Chains A and B, each alone.
Chain A
């Protein structure tokens, strides 16, 4: 069993078998993380560089922990504290790092397609840790893992993605993944935050009514309002957003079932999620973070296969 791809650039080019393999491997790593010694020697002779051209807390720590749990050697690169600030190009930076014999690159970049560009120019395996508004594949994989763990399966599951769909790489990766695994997806948010042709382009249903969406779904994955990616005013105020699209305890209690609440973090409390929802029993937000390490271990492990011929 091997992945059909050498890099993890996005969910778009993964097969159903790839996704199943990553999720089942992650299950075994989750078991490893429950043991007295939470570490395996699998990537002992692998060196990984974490290239972060954009701020990140959760994803960077999660990748770093996953790498350490696999016994890999790691180098952390943060663009703001590096020669990138002196004007070095991405390719030069990476080639300089690779000349020090690095096997894998985990990269986050604010430009969509940056990891795809690198994959064409360097020999190391590349894992996309989020590129602009394109994809965030490991987030979608850990979301899928968490849904599967909580509800038993992905096929036939009704999942709502709520909030800022327009600027969300998490939404795009989630849609690709859920559709491939046989779940149905509704995106819900204000019209200004939902791309106009998303229904035709990605095969999802669109709703502008939060209550109807919540009544339909089994799982609500609530996305963050990305203030840093909005150059124009797309809704009048955060308070108004909260009143129309924020999820409150009262709203959840008015449904005739218990739905699962997810959020990729960081949460804007009182905007997209109220605290009494984020911290409730229905929320699996902290389990998502925990599962993130196991899922990233699986991705790194499966992509570390160095070629047999050499």
Chain B
């Protein structure tokens, strides 16, 4: 296991993302931030907390978690146990900021969009990712907010991990 971003670098990128979202003139009362389980939910929780701290207006922002297990397109190969969903609010007509830790082929985001639309019809959906592996995209999906683009091999496995002392880092898992 090789550390690509240590916890300080991860926090720096998260701060930049929060600043970029804060600077984009969103109407917080009609905006929700939704993290994809599990890594994306960690990132979105951090962004949500940081936005609340930076801006009093952000008090009306809502935060949720989306699990895409039932929407995966590889369900015929493996059955995965789902993580909890937590979207206790309507997304009808809202701006949804969809958050994931690592953007790779785009399949997860495609599944997340499918899942999201079963909760209602948002006005628009933006995508925010901590790490973008953009040279491996298989779908026409691009992030609106990117923490960092990291060049990688197709077979690499990049993940956001939370260490035992509760610090986030981005690691390259050995094959």
Contact = CB atoms under 8 A, between A and B. Distances in A.
A41 B70 contact: yes
Contacts of B70: 28, 32, 40-42, 301
A284 to B, nearest CB: 23
Contact of A304 (B79, B83, B119): B79
A2 B81 CA distance: 8
Interface in A92-114: none
B120 A36 contact: yes
Contacts of B71: 40-42
Contacts of B115: 40
B84 interface: yes
Contacts of A28: 67, 69-70, 82-85
B79 A24 contact: no
Contacts of B77: 306, 308
A228 interface: no
A43 B83 CA distance: 18
Contacts of A25: 81-82
A120 to B, nearest CB: 23
B120 to A, nearest CB: 6
B23 interface: no
B79 A35 contact: no
Highest count of chain B CB atoms <10 Å: which of A35, A37, A40? A40
A306 B77 CA distance: 6
Interface in A285-310: 301-302, 304-306, 308
Contacts of B83: 28
A253 interface: no
Interface of B is mostly: loop
A1 B80 contact: yes
Interface in B56-100: 67, 69-72, 75-85
Interface string A7-51: 000000000000001001101100110011101111101000000
A299 to B, nearest CB: 12
A308 B80 contact: no
A194 B67 CA distance: 46
B123 interface: no
Nearest to A21: B81
A302 B75 CA distance: 10
A42 B70 CA distance: 5
A40 B118 CA distance: 8
B54 to A, nearest CB: 31
Contact of B78 (A35, A40, A305): A305
A31 B118 CA distance: 12
B81 A35 contact: no
Contacts of B72: 42
A21 B77 CA distance: 19
Nearest to B83: A28
A306 to B, nearest CB: 5
A296 to B, nearest CB: 15
Given A40-B118, A41-B114, A42-B72, 9 more contacts: A2-B79, A21-B81, A28-B67, A32-B70, A35-B118, A40-B71, A42-B70, A42-B75, A305-B79
14 contacts: A1-B80, A25-B82, A27-B84, A28-B69, A28-B84, A31-B85, A32-B70, A36-B119, A37-B117, A37-B118, A40-B71, A42-B75, A301-B70, A308-B78
